[in-house]
Amino acid sequence: MSFRDGATGRAAVVAAADVTRRYGEDATAVDALRGVSLRVLEGELVAVMGPSGSGKSTLMHILAGLDKPTSGSVEIAGIDITALDDARLTELRRDHIGFVFQFFNLLPMLSAEENIVLPLTIAGERPEPEWLKELLARTGLEHRSSHRPAELSGGEQQRVAIARALITKPAIVLADEPTGNLDSKTSGEILELLRVSARTYGQTIVMVTHDPRGASIADRVLFLADGQIVKQLGTTSAAEVLEVMGALQ
């Protein structure tokens, strides 16, 4: 399968076509997504924005294979994930997807470094020492690597989570409100880390956020409202994003 983008020649890491998601049945049914199509190219940092209830979290869950679309197709790294069984999906997540969560989701009994290499541990692999060192340096965790999550600040915990998402060099990192649980200054640091990772390692990242500053670091911003993509912006500024958001409310 080829997903070469005509303009740039880069491969599409994510390709979703006409995705709908309906929760419940009949009268009480809620349409969270009503026909969303998007493509994310290799090395792209895409931000998905939208007010609460716009369907952005649902879109993220479907892209991650955590939730199944009611109709439409989703391909990750060239694999149609809507047809995969649990075992294959697990394998896909393990090998091709990195996650960054709003609430960090670190394992409390593991040290920062153990948390970072956890996806490799699960896969029964060992980290490349160079790559681990590079990630620890990049996230500024060299001297905190043996600390438990409880001993780390919120920002540090999220940096651990980002390193964990990058350690397997996945096809795509999905970040779900990565700054949603952080103060303003720390949020800035985390967004900067994501931006640098995307640039330096050519890492493809899709980030759901409602932080306008988050959108400002993205190559592309998708605006979701009522389950549909209503606007797209290229590289933009926080101010412009705020304006669009204001219009959507």
Partner 1 sequence: MIGVALKGLLGRKLRATLTAIAIVLGVAMVSGTYILTDTIKSAFSTVFTRVYRNTDAVITGKSAVGEENGNNERETRPTLPASLLPRVQALPGVAQASGGIADRAQLVGRNGKVISHGGAPALAFSYQPGAERFNPLSLQRGNWPSGSEQVAIDASTADKEHFPPGQRIGVIARGPEQFFTIAGVVKFGGVSSLGGATMAVFTTPTAQQIFNKVGRYDSIQIAADHGVSAQQLVREIAPLLPAAAQVRTGQAEAQKQTNDTNGFLNIFKDFLLAFGGVALFVGSFVIANTLSITITQRTRELATLRTLGATRRQVLRSVILEALVIGVLASLAGLFAGLGLAKGLNSLLVSFGIDLPQASTVFATRTVVVSMLVGVIITLLAALRPALRSTRVPPIAAVREGSVLPPSRLARLGAYPAAATTAGAIALLLLGMLLSGASTGTRLLAIGVGSVVLFLGVAMLAPRAVPALARVLGWPSARFGGIAGSLARGNSIRNPVRTASTASALMIGLALVTFVGVLAAGLRTRFESAVDEVFIANYALTSSDNFSPISIASANALRAVPRVEVVSGVRAGNGRAFGSKVNVTGVTPDVGRVISVKWQAGGPRTPELLGLDGAFVSKDYAHEKHLHAGSPIALLTPNGATVALAVAGIYAPPKGGAPYGDITISAARFDQLYTNPQNVYTFIDMRGGVNAANTHALKAALAGFPDAKLQTKSQFKKNQLQGLTLLLNLLYVLLSLSIIVSLFGIVNTLVLTVFERTRELGMLRAVGMTRRQIRRMVRHESVITALLGAAFGIPIGVVLALMVGVAIKYAAFTVPVGTLVVFVIAAVIAGLIAAIFPARRAARLNVLAALQYE
Q: Which two tokens stand for residue 246?
A: 């204001």
CB 87, min distance to partner 1, A:
6
- Return the DSSP state at 10: P
Number of other residues whose CB lies within 10 A of the CB of residue 140 = 14
CB 206, min distance to partner 1, A:
14
The residue among 57 and 236 lying less far from partner 1, judged by its C-beta, is 57
The residue among 114 and 240 lying less far from partner 1, judged by its C-beta, is 114
Using alpha carbons, list the distances in angstroms from residue 120 to 77, 167, 196, 215: 19, 8, 23, 30
The residue among 100 and 194 lying less far from partner 1, judged by its C-beta, is 100
The residue among 57 and 209 lying less far from partner 1, judged by its C-beta, is 57
Residue 39 · residue 5 · CB < 8 Å: yes
Instruction: Tell how strand 205-208 and strand 30-41 pair up.
Output: unpaired
Q: At what angle do helices 154-166 and 129-138 cross, to 10 degrees?
A: 150
* Positions that interact with partner 1 (CB under 8 A): 57, 61, 64-67, 86-87, 90-91, 93-95, 99, 101-103, 105, 107-110, 114, 118-119, 121-124, 164, 176
User: Which residues lie across from 225 on neighbouring strands?
Assistant: 228
The residue among 208 and 241 lying less far from partner 1, judged by its C-beta, is 208
CB 107, min distance to partner 1, A:
6
| H-run or E-run covering 89 | helix 86-96
Residue 85 · residue 77 · CB < 8 Å: no
CB 111, min distance to partner 1, A:
9
CB 187, min distance to partner 1, A:
18
The residue among 91 and 243 lying less far from partner 1, judged by its C-beta, is 91
Cβ contacts of residue 186 below 8 Å, gap of 6+?
153, 154, 155, 158, 179
The residue among 93 and 159 lying less far from partner 1, judged by its C-beta, is 93
Q: Using CA atoms, how far apart are residues 65 and 177, in angstroms rounded to an integer?
A: 17
HSE-up (13 A, CA, CB side) for residue 203: 27
CB 181, min distance to partner 1, A:
9
Q: Which two tokens stand for residue 239?
A: 């101010």
CB 152, min distance to partner 1, A:
14
